[in-house]
Chain A
Amino acid sequence: MTAMVVADRVCKDFGALKVLKGVTLTVEPGQVMCIVGPSGSGKSTFLRCINHLENISAGRLYVDGDLVGYRESRGKLHELPARESAKQRRGVGMVFQHFNLFPHRTALANIVEAPIHVKKVAKAAALQRGRDLLQRVGMSEKADAYPAQLSGGQQQRVAIARALAMDPKLMLFDEPTSALDPELVGEVLNVMRDLARAGMTMVVVTHEMGFAREVADQLVFMDDGVIVESGKPRDVLSNPQHQRTQAFLSKLL
């Protein structure tokens, strides 16, 4: 069985600024990996590289066995045409910190947008699937509401349904609860917990240590563009080996 995500010494720099300095990790199918760390440590950038929203500068990154953003032939990398990159992204769902729902479309229309226009699913089938997904995230009542009329937690649940509508094999979450009021965090985490239980492969950048401890199979602590420590969440959280991990966790509690 191929691993879902394989990162081999992934580096990313923006000009002179080095953001990722050799990140190596593996996510198996069905696994949930949580990435934690201080802001500016490169966790979000790494997530965006997996979806090829950023080009990596060095190393190799594979999703489900496919090299991300490039084609390798005779020892040389060739940039993928935009069409091929778009095709790669269809298998990967992404949930953003600020939801990024389409404000000019209702909740349901947000969800069926990509299935109908990208995947060319029949409209009736897409709408049916969209309603099922809304129910799954507990939002059936709000199918016809515009995003501006929804609370942050509701918007994020619609955003999760929108990503699921493309039937992704991998879901990426970029601090999905960081922009939410504390009382709304729970509803989003519940949806994510159900998703993990249903066997979805997930990479989650988060500050919710309780969620990480409960749901994650692997916890990765990143700082300054490298993985400082990784392992079972229980071990890393309760018995951090590295001094930087200890410092970070002590500030959090």
Chain B
Amino acid sequence: MTADTSLPPRINAVPLRHPWRWVSAVIIIALVGLFLYGAATNPTYYWATYSRYVFDRRVSLAAWNTIQLTVLSMLIAVVLGVGLAVMRLSPNPVLRSVSWVYIWIFRGTPVYVQLVFWGLFPVIYRNIQLGIPFGPSFFHFSLQNLSLFFILAVIGLGLNEAAYMAEIIRAGISSVPEGQTEASTALGMSWWMTMRRTILPQAMRVIIPPTGNEIISMLKTTSLVIAVPYSGELYGRAHDIGVAFFQPIPLLMVAATWYLAITSVLMVGQYYLERYFSRGASRKLTSKQLEVLALAQRAVEEHQ
């Protein structure tokens, strides 16, 4: 037998067929079509009302309020959550205990109850005053005169969510191998610098996906702020409009449409964030790096 030294031809195999995937897809499309037909022809959905209100100015303003509630409360939650998680893992027992008690209380009571409490806050504490106790006062304002319910809703949602974010961030921090801390320590970094420069950036890869979930979940939890009571957000406003002329269903559909649209935008943002923080996590080369390597390989081959 003579050895054939030429390279064999590229494999060009017949791809595997999947007939059952097609069958199941057809069945599902048929079922969805039936449901959509039923919904379109059912008069109780009041599609005319739906299309009249879906881009109503009051509704879009309410959606904007919902976004503000979500973003502001998540900002509080992330900043406070990082602080709580770092405290929870710190070598200082005072910080550790404070963080533990905070999470115990805010995770251990329902968010609805907490929101009601924040709504009653101006009743419990009538004034906020900044100064030396029994001495002069530098700053004073009455909580009675202001319509603070939006701010109280943000605080209520943010402080509650911080407890959950703290646990997510703690899990992320714990997922970073111990060798990373040792290498940083050996280079003379302080504990806090090690956290900030080495541990947290690596923990982000683990923290981002559940945080995306939390933001989407928060978007919908904002519908509970009626407990404060604040009803300027999407669900509260849609409900108020719909109830006024006894057609709640089309207005619910309006609110659902907006929630779904905002969630979809958030999902796109999450995709890009995840991609950014997973850099260096895989040995898979980027398309740019592969291109450079292929070029180099071709240059070597041509040279031979």
Binds B, one of A35-43, A90-98, A186-194: A90-98
B281 touches A148 (CB 8 A): yes
A/B pair count, beta carbons within 8 Å: 74
Main secondary structure of the interface of B (DSSP, over half): helix
B189 touches A117 (CB 8 A): yes
Does residue A31 face the partner (Cβ distance < 8 Å to B)? no
| Contact residues of B between 233 and 280, Cβ < 8 Å to A | 279-280
B180 touches A102 (CB 8 A): yes
Binds A, one of B49-57, B114-122, B131-139, B195-203: B195-203
Contact residue range for chain A?
20 to 34
B280 touches A147 (CB 8 A): yes
Does residue A166 face the partner (Cβ distance < 8 Å to B)? yes
State the CA gap A24–B87 with chains docked (Å). 40
Known: A103-B202, A114-B189. A96 touches B182 (CB 8 A): yes
Known: A104-B280, A146-B279. A89 touches B187 (CB 8 A): yes
Chain B 93-116 per-residue mask, 1 if CB under 8 angstroms from chain A, else 0: 000000000000000000000000
Residues of A within 8 A of B182 (CB): 53, 96, 100
Residues of B within 8 A of A106 (CB): 280
Chain A 97-119 per-residue mask, 1 if CB under 8 angstroms from chain B, else 0: 01011111110000001100111
In the A-B complex, list the 7 residue pairs whose CB atoms are closest, starting with the nearest. A90-B188, A100-B183, A100-B179, A146-B280, A114-B187, A94-B186, A148-B283
18 additional contacts, CB 8 Å, given A96-B179, A103-B280, A146-B280?
A53-B186, A86-B185, A86-B189, A89-B186, A89-B188, A92-B186, A102-B202, A104-B279, A114-B187, A117-B193, A118-B188, A118-B193, A146-B279, A147-B280, A149-B283, A149-B285, A149-B289, A166-B188
Chain A residues proximal to chain B, CB less than 8 Å? 51, 53, 82-83, 86-87, 89-90, 92-94, 96, 98, 100-106, 113-114, 117-119, 146-149, 162-163, 166
